[in-house]
Amino acid sequence: GEDVEQSLFLSVREGDSSVINCTYTDSSSTYLYWYKQEPGAGLQLLTYIFSNMDMKQDQRLTVLLNKKDKHLSLRIADTQTGDSAIYFCAEVLLPPSNTGKLIFGQGTTLQVKP
């Protein structure tokens, strides 16, 4: 089945690291994405990881993928107040069902306190 789950809320202090977790159920996923949504805005692609990778680092962002447990995490180092937003993980399925359908988690609201 298709299901992606995330914790709903995370609060951190400015300068700390944030870790947002996500679990997915479809073992045939190809790419897993992290999107950020700020108030009143659309979704901004932050980073992605291919399902045959374990880790990907992109500046302050580190994505870890545990395929055995179907667990994905996004670590934001040195979290800033500008990182306050809702973060969505999403998976897309393998061809031939690869028709642009993203399955999203519920979103994690990240609150960064000064």
Partner 1 sequence: KAGVTQTPRYLIKTRGQQVTLSCSPISGHRSVSWYQQTPGQGLQFLFEYFSETQRNKGNFPGRFSGRQFSNSRSEMNVSTLELGDSALYLCASSLVPGTPYGYTFGSGTRLTVV
Residues making contact with partner 1 (CB under 8 A): 30-31, 33, 35, 40-45, 48, 50, 88, 92-95, 97-107
Least distance (Å) from partner 1 to the CB of residue 4? 10
Least distance (Å) from partner 1 to the CB of residue 103? 8
Distance of CA 90 to the CA centre of its chain: 7
| 14: three-class secondary structure by DSSP | coil
Q: Which is nearer to partner 1, 17 or 25 (CB)?
A: 25
- Residue 6: both structure tokens together: 């995330």
- Residue 59: both structure tokens together: 């500046």
Least distance (Å) from partner 1 to the CB of residue 37? 9
Q: Which is nearer to partner 1, 90 or 112 (CB)?
A: 90
Whole-number Å distance between alpha carbons of 95 and 114: 45
Least distance (Å) from partner 1 to the CB of residue 13? 27
Query: What are the counts of helices (DSSP H) followed by strands (DSSP E) for the chain?
Result: 0, 11
Q: Which is nearer to partner 1, 8 or 77 (CB)?
A: 8
Q: Which is nearer to partner 1, 17 or 97 (CB)?
A: 97
Torsion 51-36-90-100 (CA) sign: negative
